[in-house]
A and B are shown apart, each in its own frame.
Chain A
């Protein structure tokens, strides 16, 4: 009966109530959205690379180097010479290196030129090694390994023949269609940008650029398989490389010596440190967003109170009737708080559904654009706490209209007619 009263009372004022619920839903959506995306971004970023001691590239911003080498966000302005790479790789402290050559694409997915060491040494998440759901690493020049999403979206299987394009973007005009690659393996999903990349050998990158100059095909210079075999396909430059050390003790010494390398301006970064720095830079944005989201929520809860207070005038009769049939001031208090509870919970459910639906709908787009996989699983341990405190806050704010109504009732100030 109590519930029916509150529900019907809300339905009776459905116009204003609907708007109020919507404004609550939107503000909770913003709050949860900001929180979730922050959470997901951190999870994504910190899981993308693990066990790498140094990342080396051409001199640029530290964060920039991290972003393009690991997360494939943005592009390198300069490459580094093969000789420089060889120099660092031959340092006695270095256990392994993974070269990275970016700049080509296949139907919107990035192509990563690397060496077989990539499959041997690369780690993500909690020191997880790469595994194949099918096939094996590339062994031949014109073989390619593809990420899980690439395989899923383009429907490729091991043995398929594909053509790589020069440059980025799915509508690249300059296709290297004279040299089709064979899919040699498909990686297991990793939840990192690797799912959306294709890996080939550095030599293959070199080979597909033979006969091209400044991104344009030079007529009469298309090499065939026979000439390819005779070519020297040693790369002239790469984009960056990852370094694993034998002993962590050497990290800073090696970092310094790379940064002071006389051959060309290089930059070596510690991914963990730079990631922390990145969070530091983002913290301001993050906090600002959260404060704004919080204020939006407070505003919409205040709006709800205003709505309830404004309705008090027209509802005096209603309360007078309730009083007449034996309802106490406490009942009227509870009735209003129950209305608030219903509105806020409806708002929350709406917010979670909208956010979850929105994420599901945009997931693919987001990961295609930014290589960040946002999971639709909204409920983190602290989300419940957040929602609970929103609810408590709303009920507390609701004391204003509830108190007003029950005081009116208590002092017989209600005018029935």
Chain B
């Protein structure tokens, strides 16, 4: 019951080949709305992000940042052809393949509440590893490395996830997101619960880790004060044509 399906059952063509030439993220004619009768939230004609990019995507509240990240993570669904991640289209995967792809290649960090409160920190990280079906080996060492890089105390590992400070929780969330060495890291305002000093240190750590791992980072926030940390800053509104329709509100 623990293993949804052995990976041998999947068509081999989908998963293993992630051509290095492909961009990390390519959006083409991405349109998305939360219902047929509702105005579209996103309408992005084209956007491409090369591998290893570190981009700060800013946008006002309600501009569709979280929606875009959920689409990129394959939690929300776009039309076929609209999204390419590492050269693959999540819309052309089965639901199970999509979940597996997310587990292996995409890390997600939310603004708060990233950890399952009733599991230990270590179990939270193990769980993420479990869904990637990457085998038992190496979790311990990798966790160790990530904890060192994030300046986290090893004693936190056995603590219940809701018994550690918010700043610690957010750093553990990064460790959790990076445990499977994802090519893409999506961070949805992960600093909003932190005070400004902590926030700056947090972002530097995040950027440094992503550089080390070669992960592509998409960091969304409404707070343009953070943008100076990032080599690349993009306003969602400049990509998103849907937004311009009801900009007046």
Residues of A within 8 A of B (CB): 1-5, 8-9, 11-12, 317-318, 320-331, 334, 338, 410, 412, 416-417
Known: A324-B108, A331-B4. Is A8-B113 also a contact (CB below 8 A)? Answer: no
6 extra A-B contacts, CB within 8 A, seeds A1-B130, A324-B114: A2-B2, A5-B127, A325-B176, A331-B4, A338-B1, A416-B110
Residues of A with C-beta under 8 A to B2: 1-3
Of B14-22, B68-76, B207-215, B219-227, which stretch is located at the interface? B68-76
Q: Is B152 an interface residue (CB 8 A)?
A: no
Please give me the 10 A-B residue pairs with the lowest Cβ-Cβ distance, nearest first.
A326-B103, A326-B131, A12-B118, A324-B108, A328-B99, A412-B76, A325-B128, A416-B110, A2-B2, A8-B118
Instruction: Assess whether B128 is in contact with A326, with CB atoms less than 8 Å apart.
Output: yes
Chain B residues 82 to 128 lying within 8 A of chain A, measured CB to CB, are 95-96, 99-100, 102-104, 108, 110-119, 123, 126-128
Closest to A412 in B: B76
Chain B residues 1 to 16 lying within 8 A of chain A, measured CB to CB, are 1-2, 4
A-B contact pairs, 11 of them (CB 8 A): A5-B119, A5-B127, A318-B116, A322-B116, A324-B114, A325-B128, A326-B132, A327-B99, A328-B96, A329-B95, A416-B111
Instruction: Assess whether B111 is in contact with A417, with CB atoms less than 8 Å apart.
Output: yes
Whole-angstrom CA separation of A12 from B117 in the bound complex: 9
Interface residues of B, count at CB 8 A: 35
Instruction: Assess whether B95 is in contact with A328, with CB atoms less than 8 Å apart.
Output: yes
Instruction: Assess whether A5 is in contact with B110, with CB atoms less than 8 Å apart.
Output: no
Residues of A with C-beta under 8 A to B4: 328, 330-331
Known: A321-B113, A324-B110, A328-B95. Is A1-B1 also a contact (CB below 8 A)? Answer: no
Whole-angstrom CA separation of A154 from B114 in the bound complex: 69
Chain B residues 173 to 187 lying within 8 A of chain A, measured CB to CB, are 176
Whole-angstrom CA separation of A321 from B176 in the bound complex: 11
Residues of A with C-beta under 8 A to B116: 5, 318, 321-322
Residues of B with C-beta under 8 A to A320: 110
Residues of B with C-beta under 8 A to A328: 4, 95-96, 99
Residues of B with C-beta under 8 A to A325: 102-103, 108, 127-128, 131, 176
Whole-angstrom CA separation of A322 from B119 in the bound complex: 12
Whole-angstrom CA separation of A3 from B130 in the bound complex: 13
Whole-angstrom CA separation of A2 from B1 in the bound complex: 8
Option from B70, B119, B123, B127 in Cβ contact (under 8 Å) with A412: B70
